[in-house]
Amino acid sequence: MQQRFPLKPLCLLVLQALACQAYAAGPEAAAADDSAAIGAMAGPVQTVEITGRGQSRQVQNISKADLAEALPGTSPLKVLEKLPGVNFQSADPFGAYEWSTRFSIRGFNQNQLGFTLDGIPLGDMTYGNNNGLHISRAISSENIGSVSVSQGAGALGTASSSNLGGTVQFFTLAPSDARGLTFAQTLGSDSTSRTFARVDTGLVNGVFKAYLSGTRQRTEKTKGVGDQDQDQLNSRFVLNFGDNSLTGFLNYSDRREVDYQDVSLEMVKRLGYNWDNYESDWQRAVNAAKGVFTGGVNSLDDAYYSAGGLRKDTIGGLTLDLQLRSNLNLKTTIYHHDNEGQGHWYTPYVPTNASNPISLRTTEYTIGRDGVTSDLSWELGDHTINAGLWGERNEHTASRNYYAVTGPSDTMYFLNNPFATEWKQKFVTTTSQYYLQDTLALMDGKLKLNAGFKALDVEIKATNLVGTRAAGSIGAEKKFLPQAGVNYAITGNDEVFASAAKNMRAHQPGVTGPFSQTQVAYNAGIASLKPETSTNIDLGYRFKRDSLQGSLAVYNASFDHRQLSVATCAGILGCPSTLVNVGKVDTKGVEAIAVWKFNREISWFNSYTFNDSKYKSNYMDGATLVAVSGKTVVDAPRQLFNTEVSYDGGAWFARAGGKFTGKRYYTYLNDGGVPSYWLASLSGGYKMKNLGFVKDLSLQVNVTNLFDKQYISSIGTNGFQASDRTGTAQTLLTGAPRQVFITLNGKL
């Protein structure tokens, strides 16, 4: 049973706000107040804050203006791919198709990173929902004010139980002080239509402002048959009393996306780059299920009739920001998240009946999360003391069901009453975290030292309701995870920084964690199963000149008790995974970023990453030794390079960019990999400013995959394997072809 907003904490928070009206407070800090950028598709030239000045960690920030020049509806994760250390892949032009989304930093994949929205945890954003949701569902991209990326050690107070590597923090755009309506309409390739509208109340009586926005996106797949659609509602308010503030939001998302067919290298050669599922040809799917193959098909798994994913999410929260004294600030947030999800797959392995060899297989999810975060900041002379806590209770269910099908009908809706349930599990996860940190400023602020620690405790109780998957209890606890850093300003334009941090990734519930195994496998391995831990070290230099600014960083990460989930059969069969501890992984690398601003109109952005991530231990797969020691970590390219030239002449603006991604392996023994590739993009437009009663009117064109490159985008979509010498592992997705979109937006 899903949890609802806890009324008692909610009432206490409101009462706390009313009781503290006499206190003085600082300005609102949780939301990025960049409202003027809504509707203005072009902002200042190269708005990436590459330096992260004053930070002891490698940090970059993306502003609203930079987000606005991306294709509307683009996942903010895709916008981040230009930053050093960041590898992003997706099979669609928006980067929002969740089955294909792959995001990693310095060789750490997304379920080893931390993600938050205004401090609220988004979980690890895995496809098989268990503890959060993708940022593309949490909020419309038009309502994001800024993004902060820490490639190494994330901030101690980050509410995440998975941030072994870096953290990504998203901040919501605040309601505007000016009343008005913002609109945007995008049309383009594959019948794409995206409509966005937002109404701002403006500042009412000098103390209250709010907005309500709606987004409707419809687009067809770039190959095959099917749609990828989403509807969203976002709302937010800010109430100021004295210098304190109470902020609240409630967001809703309904996403339905038809899947692309996962392919292998052998399939691409045999069936072609544009191969996809059978949808619209039901009889061919039935024939194939009976073993009658045509058109080069030679396997049940070459194609299915169709597949898809459905997700409904409601997430909301209240934040009370109190300036208790001039040097003492307390910010408390409570939040709730409800999720319902289903993954559909037409399977030829389980018949509906004797005459119909196909049924519809689903993986079904629910999430009910309630949580609280609280952060205290106290400035005491040269010291700034930060302390805080995070607590969450998450009730999550997952099940595998089969439904009868009678023919080629639309099944992209939530199903019920299956004819069979293969397995069903319930998980209750309780998380508690607290942290303490002191930052000391010396030499008139030129030298900053910070040191602190966090303590993390995550307990999972799994109940097996149907089937043979594992049940039991497992915990991950570390009472002392230290972090320390230093920043020294050599001059006003040059500084050096260094940091070190110890982190832990807790065990995960759901379809990919230790309870995804059989009870026998779980019992055999539980004694040796330990939570993953890492030690991250950064050392870097930042500089800024009149026409050039940049940074250079070197890093090392030592990763212990790495857990690998090894696929044991074709993805559609849904076999229990095998979870193995491969021991130690070492990562080292270099990151460089530079922006030249030649004049007011033209700038040139570049980032380069060299990353070397290697397994340092072999592992046993049953009685078989898998010799992975010395092999490159899967989905961790050694080289990444991004370059982008921008022009902003006032009315006219344009950007042209190129991205290089090095070779990536999808097998632990490195005998299966996909080649490196270049990808180009182009955007440009015209700002008409005011036209009659319409303000800030602009027209923008975005072209993705400019030269129509054929390439493999996402890897590991059906998991990674030890070996694939024949190239038949069906765990790859091809990238989207060239796409063209045009957007008109403005304000009323």
16 pLDDT above the threshold of 90: no
* Residue-level pLDDT at 574: 58
Cβ contact 420:474 at 8 Å: no
CA–chain centroid gap for 27, Å, is 29
In tens, the pLDDT along 716-732 reads 999 888 899 999 999 99
CA-CA-CA-CA torsion sign (76, 44, 106, 93): positive
* Residue-level pLDDT at 91: 96
509 pLDDT above the threshold of 80: yes
* Residue-level pLDDT at 22: 33
In tens, the pLDDT along 543-575 reads 999 899 999 999 999 988 777 666 555 666 655
The structure tokens 């107040």 sit at: 33
Question: What is the average pLDDT across 463-472?
Answer: 93
Residue bearing the bigger pLDDT, 64 or 490:
490
Using alpha carbons, list the distances in angstroms from residue 130 to 81, 90, 113, 395, 743.
25, 21, 15, 9, 35
CA–chain centroid gap for 606, Å, is 23
DSSP string, 639-688: EEEEEEEEEE-SSEEEEEEEEEE--EESBTTS-SEE--EEEEEEEEEEEE
Q: What is the mean pLDDT of the chain?
A: 89
* Residue-level pLDDT at 36: 41
Residue bearing the bigger pLDDT, 669 or 576:
669
Query: In this predicted structure, which of 36-40, 260-264, 492-496, 516-520 has the lowest mean pLDDT?
Result: 36-40
DSSP string, 83-94: STTEEEE-SSTT
* Residue-level pLDDT at 126: 85
Question: What is the average pLDDT across 169-190?
Answer: 96
pLDDT band at 576 (very low <50, low <70, confident <90, very high): low
pLDDT band at 308 (very low <50, low <70, confident <90, very high): very high
Contacts of 376 (CB under 8 A, 6+ apart): 328, 329, 330, 385, 386, 387, 388
In tens, the pLDDT along 395-435 reads 999 999 999 998 887 788 999 999 999 999 999 999 999 99
CA pair distance 621, 579, nearest whole angstrom: 9
CA pair distance 302, 262, nearest whole angstrom: 9
* Residue-level pLDDT at 41: 35
CA pair distance 1, 607, nearest whole angstrom: 47
CA–chain centroid gap for 103, Å, is 7
394 pLDDT above the threshold of 60: yes
Three-state secondary structure call for residue 141: helix
Using alpha carbons, list the distances in angstroms from residue 331 to 156, 198, 238, 390, 695.
16, 27, 14, 12, 36
CA–chain centroid gap for 726, Å, is 32
> Where are the alpha helices (H) located in 282-358, listed in sequence order?
282-289
User: Tokens representing 447?
Assistant: 């030298």
Query: In this predicted structure, which of 11-25, 125-139, 573-587, 666-680 has the lowest mean pLDDT?
Result: 11-25
- Point out which residues pair with 98 in neighbouring strands: none
119 pLDDT above the threshold of 80: yes
CA pair distance 178, 201, nearest whole angstrom: 7
522 pLDDT above the threshold of 70: yes
Query: In this predicted structure, which of 67-76, 178-187, 200-209, 580-589 has the lowest mean pLDDT?
Result: 580-589
| % of residues, the chain, pLDDT over 90 | 74
505 pLDDT above the threshold of 80: yes
3 pLDDT above the threshold of 90: no
7 pLDDT above the threshold of 90: no
pLDDT band at 51 (very low <50, low <70, confident <90, very high): low
Half-sphere exposure of 45 (CA within 13 A, CB side): 25
pLDDT band at 85 (very low <50, low <70, confident <90, very high): very high
Question: What is the average pLDDT across 364-374?
Answer: 97
* Dihedral in degrees, nearest 10, Cα atoms 99, 101, 107, 108: -70
**Pairing mode of beta strands 228-241, 208-218:** antiparallel
Question: What is the average pLDDT across 384-401?
Answer: 96
Question: What is the average pLDDT across 470-479?
Answer: 93
In tens, the pLDDT along 214-224 reads 999 999 999 99
Q: Which H helix or E strand runs over 217?
A: strand 208-218
* Residue-level pLDDT at 11: 40
* Residue-level pLDDT at 341: 96
* Residue-level pLDDT at 37: 41
pLDDT band at 52 (very low <50, low <70, confident <90, very high): low
* Dihedral in degrees, nearest 10, Cα atoms 239, 242, 244, 248: -10
User: Tokens representing 342?
Assistant: 């289903």
CA–chain centroid gap for 521, Å, is 31
Q: How many CB atoms lie within 10 A of CB 685?
A: 22
CA-CA-CA-CA torsion sign (149, 150, 155, 161): positive
CA pair distance 177, 208, nearest whole angstrom: 9
Contacts of 732 (CB under 8 A, 6+ apart): 262, 263, 264, 265, 268, 666, 674, 712, 714, 715, 717
In tens, the pLDDT along 645-697 reads 999 988 999 999 999 999 999 999 999 999 999 999 999 999 987 888 888 89
**Pairing mode of beta strands 673-674, 664-665:** antiparallel
**What backbone torsions phi and psi does residue 519 show, to the nearest 5 degrees?**
-60, -35
239 pLDDT above the threshold of 50: yes
One-letter amino acid for residue 632 of the chain: T
| % of residues, the chain, pLDDT over 70 | 90
207 pLDDT above the threshold of 70: yes
Give the DSSP letter of residue 698: E
28 pLDDT above the threshold of 70: no
Cβ contact 496:527 at 8 Å: no
314 pLDDT above the threshold of 50: yes
Per-residue three-class SS string for 509-543: CCCCCHHHCEHHHHHHHHHHCCCEEEEEEEEEEEE
Cβ contact 105:591 at 8 Å: no
* Dihedral in degrees, nearest 10, Cα atoms 712, 128, 625, 667: 0
Contacts of 16 (CB under 8 A, 6+ apart): 320, 322, 332
* Residue-level pLDDT at 220: 97
Using alpha carbons, list the distances in angstroms from residue 371 to 333, 401, 494, 676, 683.
8, 30, 41, 42, 41
DSSP string, 486-512: EEEESSSSEEEEEEEEEEEE----STT
